[in-house]
């Protein structure tokens, strides 16, 4: 079962990656891609692939894996399948941090300034949600806290953007931070996000078994030998860092952390030893696919708009079912 | 054996002491809100409490989590589930402190009449069935100290009797079982009872000595009267 799921998700991811490299304004044949990756191929193909499509695809994968994994962790923390980085306002917090880093010029001083500012913003949001909702909170409580924080951080972001409009006019930056997107992502963005995301994902995996126990109740988990306090800190830190890294390079991309874990739980069960790796792969494939739709559809859709179009109806359906998985 | 001295939780438990030997079946009794759950949680180290809890002379709450999980198992009053793990996996969680060796899981499933539900999601069980899953998980730990919070509530009469019989079996094997209970008649067959009232211990010892008509009237507000009664027991 586990092997089948892993094989399926790996195949989906490979397919999405191939499609992301093949399709675009100029179509590259798989043969041409192969040549370029082997150090051959013509200059145009090299530029398109190595300067544009490959870094963008890698960032998309990092963003997707990070948000889906973060979603799983938040759902464990709050023991509520509707918890996710977008709905709880953690992404918005990260975006505010990132926008501040740009507005005050910190982002140009160091490669680390942007992700760190984003982490600080996301952390602020996480702490606020925990203070407002606490673990095992009702869905209403969680969502209301999220609504308030999203509005607050969104307003903060809009305020900074309009205040410092000069900094953000180029390349649709304002739209980028409010709606999410992967336009003109470069290798720099890959280095900001990918290593951190991979590291955080690897750090999460050993806790999968303890997460299963936590999912069945906090006190029960502790009585069975889980150091719940430490585990909860781990969850907060890792889920926040993952969301922040995704937001630092992709803006606010909603619903990934909600849909991907939920669908995979329906298909392969709630065991975190399966769910975590599958969600990372599934999230990467999902964002790759959504970004492909965003950049190939007429009218230049934003990534955040595509994930919201896919996720919004899904979320409403979940809400109607009472949030159970 | 377990010994607690002056366990105190502000506003919920007032300096309760108890001492239970190895191989003992004991009940915590008391009306709603008397502090039964708080006492069990404090003993299990699940909430901060003043006082001492010693297991074979060692401070139980200073023993590391994993090691403590091999000494005691606790079953809470809530048997709510948000995520649909299969019954067998939940019961197997009892072996977390043993590196998930899966030992005793089948036996625990059988003991609580869950074998036929082993692959069912816990979210798709009735409240009583789910209660049995959590009890089976505690049984699978093999811990010599079992703390069960109202294990028989939500259970039908047969499964309720089976839980009591199982506790007796554990006692025979040298375990110490302490459970909170509302069934005062069932408590008559226990080795020890501890009666809590408004957070304080108002009686402790053998049931026939503690559960006097005066105490029942004062603590529970009921009048005790002996009469020919309908007896329900497991068929032999």
Q: What is the pLDDT of residues A209-249, one digit of tens each?
A: 999 999 999 999 999 999 998 998 899 899 999 999 999 99
Mean pLDDT of B203-221: 94
- The tens digit of pLDDT for each residue in A142-182 reads 788 888 999 999 999 988 888 877 766 655 666 677 788 89
Q: What's the pLDDT at A301?
A: 84
Q: Which of B66, B73, B83 sits opposite A270 (nearest CB)?
A: B83
Does any CB of chain A come closer than 8 Å to the CB of residue B204?
no
Q: What's the pLDDT at A173?
A: 66
Neighbour tally for B231: CB within 10 Å: 6
**Cα separation, A265 vs A271, whole angstroms:** 8
Work out the mean pLDDT of chain B and round it to a whole number.
Answer: 94
Q: What's the pLDDT at A81?
A: 83
- Phi, psi at B72, each rounded to 5°: -130, 150
Q: What's the pLDDT at A3?
A: 83
Q: Is B46:B214 a contact under the CB 8 Å cutoff?
A: no
Interface of A with B in 229-268 (CB under 8 A): 265
Element containing residue B51 per DSSP (H, E) = strand B50-55
| CA–CA min distance B82, chain A (Å) | 7
**Cα separation, B17 vs A279, whole angstroms:** 49
- The tens digit of pLDDT for each residue in B118-171 reads 999 999 999 999 999 999 999 999 999 999 999 998 899 999 999 999 999 999
Q: What's the pLDDT at A104?
A: 84
Q: What's the pLDDT at A167?
A: 67
| CA–CA min distance A16, chain B (Å) | 30
**Cα separation, B43 vs B51, whole angstroms:** 10
Q: Is A16:A292 a contact under the CB 8 Å cutoff?
A: yes
Q: What order do you get walking across the sheet with B72-75 strand by strand?
A: B72-75, B145-148, B176-180, B24-29, B192-197, B200-205
Q: What's the pLDDT at A325?
A: 45
3-state class (DSSP) for residue A132: helix
Show residues of chain A in contact with B53, CB under 8 Å. Answer: none
Strand B13-20 to B2-9 pairing: antiparallel
The pLDDT > 90 percentage for chain B reads: 89
Show residues of chain A in contact with B90, CB under 8 Å. Answer: 216
Neighbour tally for A308: CB within 10 Å: 20
Give the residue from A164, A157, A140, A143 showing the smallest Cα distance to A92: A157
- Residue B58 bridge partners (DSSP): B55
Nearest residue in chain B measured CA to CA from A219:
B46
Does any CB of chain B come closer than 8 Å to the CB of residue A270?
yes
Residue spans of chain A under pLDDT 70: 1-2, 134-137, 167-175, 322-325
User: Mutation test of the interface with chain B: which of A220, A264, A267, A324, choosing the one with the most B Cβ atoms within 10 A?
Assistant: A220
Nearest residue in chain B measured CA to CA from A78:
B82
- Number of A/B CB contacts below 8 angstroms equals 77
- Residue B203 bridge partners (DSSP): B195
User: Mutation test of the interface with chain A: which of B82, B89, B97, B137, choosing the one with the most A Cβ atoms within 10 A?
Assistant: B82
Interface of B with A in 139-198 (CB under 8 A): 141
Residue spans of beta strands (DSSP E) within A86-136: none
| CA–CA min distance A136, chain B (Å) | 9
Q: What is the DSSP letter of A226?
A: -
Does any CB of chain A come closer than 8 Å to the CB of residue B100?
yes
Q: Which of A217, A226, A265 sits opposite B76 (nearest CB)?
A: A217
Question: What would the two tokens of residue A269 be?
Answer: 């069960």
Mean pLDDT of B29-34: 95
Interface of A with B in 61-90 (CB under 8 A): 79-81
**Cα separation, B83 vs A99, whole angstroms:** 37
pTM, entire model: 0.90
Does any CB of chain A come closer than 8 Å to the CB of residue B78?
yes
In the block, which residue shows the tokens 């692939």? A49
């Amino acid at each position: 079962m586990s092997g089948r799921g892993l094989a399926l998700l790996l195949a989906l991811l490979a397919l999405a990656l191939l499609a992301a490299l093949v399709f675009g304004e100029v179509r590259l044949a798989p043969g041409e891609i192969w040549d370029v990756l082997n150090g051959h191929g013509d200059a145009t193909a090299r530029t398109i692939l190595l300067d544009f499509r490959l870094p963008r695809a890698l960032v998309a994968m990092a963003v997707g894996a990070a948000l889906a994994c973060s979603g799983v962790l938040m759902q464990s923390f709050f023991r509520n399948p509707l918890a996710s980085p977008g709905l709880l306002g953690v992404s918005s917090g990260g975006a505010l941090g990132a926008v501040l880093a740009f507005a005050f010029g910190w982002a140009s001083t160091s490669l680390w300034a942007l992700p760190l500012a984003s982490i600080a913003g996301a952390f602020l949001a996480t702490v606020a949600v925990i203070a407002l909702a606490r673990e095992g909170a009702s869905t209403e409580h969680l969502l209301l806290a999220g609504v308030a924080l999203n509005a607050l951080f969104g307003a903060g972001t809009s305020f900074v953007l309009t205040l410092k409009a000069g900094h953000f006019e180029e390349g649709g930056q304002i739209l980028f931070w409010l709606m999410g997107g992967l336009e003109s992502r470069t290798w720099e963005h890959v280095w900001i996000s990918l290593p951190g995301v991979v590291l955080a994902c690897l750090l999460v995996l050993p806790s999968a078994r303890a997460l299963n126990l936590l999912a069945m109740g906090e006190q029960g988990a502790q009585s069975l030998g889980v150091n719940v306090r430490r585990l909860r800190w781990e969850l907060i830190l890792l889920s926040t860092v993952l969301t922040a890294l995704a937001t630092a390079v992709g803006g606010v991309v909603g619903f990934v952390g909600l849909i991907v874990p939920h669908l995979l739980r329906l298909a392969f069960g709630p065991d975190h030893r399966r769910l975590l790796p599958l969600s990372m792969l599934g999230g990467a494939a999902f964002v790759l696919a959504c970004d492909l739709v965003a950049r190939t559809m007429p009218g230049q859709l934003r990534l955040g708009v595509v994930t919201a179009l896919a996720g919004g109806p899904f979320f409403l359906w979940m809400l109607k079912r009472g949030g159970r998985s | 054996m377990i010994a607690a001295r002056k366990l105190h939780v502000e506003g919920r438990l007032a300096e309760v002491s108890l001492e239970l030997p190895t191989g003992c079946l004991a009940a915590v009794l008391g009306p709603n809100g008397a502090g039964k759950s708080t006492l069990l949680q404090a003993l299990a180290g699940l909430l901060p409490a003043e006082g001492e809890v010693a297991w074979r002379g060692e401070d139980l709450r200073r023993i590391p989590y994993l090691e403590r999980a091999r000494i005691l198992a606790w079953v809470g009053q809530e048997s709510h589930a948000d995520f649909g793990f299969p019954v067998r996996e939940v019961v197997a969680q009892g072996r977390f402190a043993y590196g998930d060796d899966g030992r005793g899981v089948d036996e625990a499933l059988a003991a609580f009449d869950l074998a036929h539900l082993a692959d069912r999601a816990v979210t798709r069980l009735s409240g009583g069935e789910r209660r049995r899953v959590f009890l089976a998980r505690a049984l699978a730990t093999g811990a010599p100290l079992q703390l069960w919070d109202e294990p028989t509530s939500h259970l039908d009469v047969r499964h309720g009797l089976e839980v009591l019989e199982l506790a007796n079996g554990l006692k025979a094997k040298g375990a110490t079982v302490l459970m909170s209970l509302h069934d005062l008649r069932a408590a008559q067959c226990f080795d020890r009872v501890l009666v809590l009232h408004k957070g304080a211990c108002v009686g402790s010892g053998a049931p026939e000595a503690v559960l006097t008509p005066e105490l029942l009237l004062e603590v529970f507000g009921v009048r005790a009267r002996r009469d020919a009664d309908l007896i329900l027991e497991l068929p032999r």
